Amino acid sequence: MSVVEYNLLSDKKPVPTRQAANGDLCADAQQKICERDIFKPVRTKDLCILARQLATLLRAGMPLVPALSALVEQLQGDTLAEIMQQVADSVNAGSTLADALKKHPSVFSSLFVNMVAAGEMSGTLEDVLLRLAEMLEKRVNLAGKVKSAVAYPAMMVVVAVGVVVFLLSFVVPSITEIFLEMNRALPWPTRLLISTSTFIRTYLLLIAIIVCAGFCGIRFWLRTKEGRLFVDRSKLKLPLFGKLFLKLEIARLTRTLGILLISGIPVLGALEIAKSVIGNSFIAHAMDSVKDLVSRGDNIAGAVRKTGLFPPIVFHIIATGQISGNIEAALIDIADMFDGEVDRQAKTLVSLLEPAILIIMGAIIGFIVLAVLLPIFEINQAF
């Protein structure tokens, strides 16, 4: 009987293989894997595919260790393949899948590990993996919609600013120099254009240094707890985008919490794990308050309501779910509802911001053209 078959069919620990006898990983190999985890991070999309493929193999009746080995072969030498090989070795040596995944915290989050542990304890690992894959896929799709709603206008603004700076720094000076040599009174748009162009050309390097220093300073400040909390709180108050960010976090939070409860994880543990998926530290701080209130005997709906952060519809649906004894389905329904709202609002924002930015950019370019043409018109009229 092979080592794998012995491990699966016997209650005793397997006879150590040569790999297992040397430990899961030697120190150097473990360090190399950790370095790869940091410098070549695994995408969430890859974890979605991994969870779904593993669930499919298990549902087909394949034992865990051969299923993990099949995944390694499928990944074909990728960074994730090396990590999964170490996971397979650990499981073959007698470790649980959750404990093996826990050795790679930069790849497998606490959410991933705890859901796998719950699936192993309840004997429904393949079902839990499918739920996990679906949840991660929805999170990726939802985050992608919000990023597209934010990134496209931001890119257009950067391009517009770059075009204007280029015109004022290199194109306008050569044209306006002719007007200055005429010693004529210039219209105020032309004077404003010349002053702006002169200022940018004179202090362009200083402006660039200040912008870079400010960018680096803000990034450093965002790494502090106070800075991130301030920015995350401010993001929720932004016009147009504030409600979008809040709905995104609510959808992510409620779906995660609902699936954790369905998987059999206790309420307090589920609240702690769900907090880790929140990208906004201000909302995460509010979830600490929810957890504290629940630990003191309050129900989830009442605790959510006391934060004053979530829309009334959220805690009303949760309260209804608690009364009916099906809070998990209520949380998933909230997530589905806000998923749809985020999708619609993201599309609306893109459709509104694109023409608005084009109009603003056209107005600036039009002002530059007008400031250049006005002196020419006056000269033609004089002659």
Gap between the Cα atoms of 24 and 22, Å rounded: 7
Gap between the Cα atoms of 127 and 56, Å rounded: 9
Instruction: Give the Cβ contact number of residue 182 at 10 Å.
Output: 10
* Residue in this structure with the two tokens 């150097």, named with its chain if needed: 28
3-class SS at 40?
coil
Residues whose CB falls within 8 Å of the CB of residue 122, separated by 6 or more in sequence, listed in order: 128, 263, 264
Gap between the Cα atoms of 300 and 283, Å rounded: 15
The confidence score (pLDDT) of residue 156 equals: 81
Gap between the Cα atoms of 17 and 6, Å rounded: 12
Burial of 84 (0-12, 13-18, 19+ CB in 10 A): buried
User: Which is nearest to 120 in space by CA: 134, 104, 132, 106?
Assistant: 132
Long-range pairs of 152-158 with CB within 8 A, sequence gap ≥ 24: 152/350, 152/353, 152/354, 153/349, 153/350, 153/353, 153/354, 153/357, 156/353, 156/354, 156/357, 156/358, 156/361, 157/357
Mark out the alpha helices in the chain (DSSP H runs): 3-9, 18-21, 27-39, 44-59, 64-75, 79-92, 97-102, 110-122, 125-166, 172-181, 188-222, 225-235, 241-262, 267-275, 281-295, 300-307, 312-324, 327-382
Gap between the Cα atoms of 289 and 331, Å rounded: 19
Gap between the Cα atoms of 22 and 289, Å rounded: 46
Residues whose CB falls within 8 Å of the CB of residue 265, separated by 6 or more in sequence, listed in order: 114, 115, 118, 273
Going along the chain from its start, the domains and CATH numbers come out as: 3-108 (no CATH), 138-383 (1.20.81.30)
Q: What's the distance, Cα to Cα, between the start and end of the chain in Å?
A: 105
The confidence score (pLDDT) of residue 6 equals: 31
Q: What's the predicted TM-score (pTM) here?
A: 0.71
**Residue ranges for the chain with pLDDT beneath 70:** 1-41, 77, 380-383
DSSP annotation of 186 reads P
User: Which is nearest to 88 in space by CA: 118, 61, 64?
Assistant: 64
Count, residues in the chain:
383
Find the angle CA(328)-CA(329)-CA(330) to the nearest 5 degrees: 90
The confidence score (pLDDT) of residue 318 equals: 92
Tokens of residue 157, six digits: 């603004």
CA distances from 48 to 63, 65, 361 (A): 20, 19, 41
